[in-house]
Amino acid sequence: MRRGAGDAARVRGVNPATAVITPCDHARMATELPFTDVLRDRLGPARHAVRLGSSPRSRVWRVELGGAPAVVKQAVESADADERYAREVAALRLASRVTPPVVPRLLGTDPGARVLVLEHVEHRRPSPDWVVEYASALARLHAATASDPADQDQGALPAWQGPVRADAEAFLALAGRLAVPVPDGTGAELTALLRRLGTVPGGALLHGDPCPGNDLHTPDGIRFIDFEQSALGNGLTELVYLRMGFPTCWCVTDTPEPLLREAEAAYGAAWEAATGGAPPGDLVDACAGWLIRGDALVQRAHRGAVDHLARLPEEDWAWGTVTARQRLAYRLGVVARLTADRDDLHGLGRLAGALRERMLGRWPGLASPPRERPEDG
């Protein structure tokens, strides 16, 4: 499990400058290691603890257990700390069914202290075509609960929450604020889209935040980490992260079309190998679902509070590799292209194209996202 000082902070949108840990801090924070009696009785003593950079929602250490490196992670006290911890532990256990592995081994837990211990996995720089291996590993992760579901899976994690009517209304309201006419029938298309997304077959083990940085690239394949937002749902919801520029992530990227097609084919092949059939759902619907979600323009801490689409005409804000307006303009272009031949999303596609043109005309400095994965991701 990779975590250098500042790396995880970048993944979570925290200023790395404020996340740097000094040598003096290391000594102090190592003494705070929450390696409880429960863990010590099972795993033996933890030695040589070093505090690593992490998100504000967790504390992470690298330790040695019996001479082998391991990682200790504690969910920080907050209103949702118990839920985040329970989700992560449940997802890691469900994902442990997959071979070759797609997650680090879970070595021990202490729910009372919200601490888990994982094997340490060494990350290496991803290859230029990393999205292909990523998509294949993502499919195998998703299939952990879809290929051979057990009754207890359904209660292990919550169901994924997709866009709702308020998201569709906010998206249409944005068109009004930017003086872009809404094609006839677009509202009905969005109603039908929400219905399809709400009834699409689920049951896949969703990571919840499958961003660059939450995927560790090793000589033996990819391991996913940080499952605090995991859920059960439809796998295409996360496959389209590649097309939609990683909507919940700090590092938006514009993956070239040939690599996208190769990655999507790799996902389909891996899913079929694990389940015996094609992935359920509709890729274009999944992309459209992410387009209309204003909460996908901000970091997790700011979601669910206000209508972020309503803010865009008057303000722009930076997060990671792009600004909010850049994020939306990019997603509008993706959906406009994908819906060109879709009768059931024709109005939405026209609206997306018109909104993008209006944004580029009003703010001509909106650049496309970077093509390559950032070094910190």
Examine the pLDDT at 61 and tell me if it is beyond 60. Answer: yes
Judge if the upstream peptide bond of residue 100 is cis by omega within 30 degrees of 0. Answer: yes
Domain of residue 19: give its range: 7-119
Q: Compute the C-alpha angle 333/338/341, nearest 5°.
A: 130
Residue 350 resides in a domain: yes
Mean pLDDT, the chain, integer: 90
Both 200 and 311 in a single domain? yes
Residue 376 resides in a domain: no
Residue 35 resides in a domain: yes
Query: Looking at residue 184, which CATH number applies to its domain?
Result: 3.90.1200
Both 217 and 317 in a single domain? yes
Last residue of a domain, which of 95, 119, 143? 119
Examine the pLDDT at 53 and tell me if it is beyond 50. Answer: yes
In 3D space, the residue among 288, 283, 238 whose CA is nearest the CA of residue 261 turns out to be 283
Residue 257 resides in a domain: yes
**Residue 311 three-state SS:** helix
In 3D space, the residue among 61, 90, 92, 87 whose CA is nearest the CA of residue 74 turns out to be 61
In this predicted model, which residue has the larger pLDDT, 181 or 11? 181
Mean pLDDT, to the nearest integer, of 101-125? Answer: 97
Both 112 and 140 in a single domain? no
Both 264 and 201 in a single domain? yes
Is there a contact between 55 and 14 (Cβ–Cβ < 8 Å)?
Answer: yes
Instruction: Classify residue 44 as left (phi > 0), alpha (psi -120 to 50) or beta.
Output: left
Query: Looking at residue 79, which CATH number applies to its domain?
Result: 3.30.200.20
> How many domains would you assign to the chain?
2
pTM, to two decimals: 0.90
Both 229 and 341 in a single domain? yes
Mean pLDDT, to the nearest integer, of 68-73? Answer: 97
Both 97 and 245 in a single domain? no
Both 23 and 163 in a single domain? no
Please return the burial class of 163, using the count of CB atoms within 10 Å of its CB with bins 0-12, 13-18 and 19+: buried
Q: Which segment of 4-8, 177-181, 258-262, 349-353 scores lowest on mean pLDDT?
A: 4-8
Both 342 and 310 in a single domain? yes
Both 115 and 151 in a single domain? no
- Cα→Cα distances 257→181, 190, 261, Å: 30, 26, 6
Q: What confidence score (pLDDT) does residue 28 get? A: 53
Place of tokens 């209006």: 358
Both 42 and 163 in a single domain? no
Q: What confidence score (pLDDT) does residue 150 get? A: 56
Mark out the alpha helices in the chain (DSSP H runs): 7-11, 16-19, 23-30, 37-43, 81-95, 130-142, 153-156, 165-177, 186-199, 236-239, 257-275, 283-291, 308-311, 324-338, 346-362
The crossing angle, in degrees rounded to 10, of helices 257-275 and 130-142 is 30
Last residue of a domain, which of 92, 119, 146? 119
Is there a contact between 98 and 106 (Cβ–Cβ < 8 Å)?
Answer: no
In 3D space, the residue among 75, 350, 112 whose CA is nearest the CA of residue 228 turns out to be 75
Both 142 and 101 in a single domain? no
Residue 377 resides in a domain: no
Examine the pLDDT at 156 and tell me if it is beyond 90. Answer: no
Residue 259 resides in a domain: yes
Query: Which tokens is 223 given?
Result: 């391991």
pLDDT confidence tier of residue 303, bands split at 50, 70 and 90: confident
Last residue of a domain, which of 119, 147, 173? 119
Residue 371 resides in a domain: no
Centre a 10 Å sphere on the Cβ of residue 210 and count the other Cβ atoms it contains: 26
Both 326 and 252 in a single domain? yes
Residue 39 resides in a domain: yes
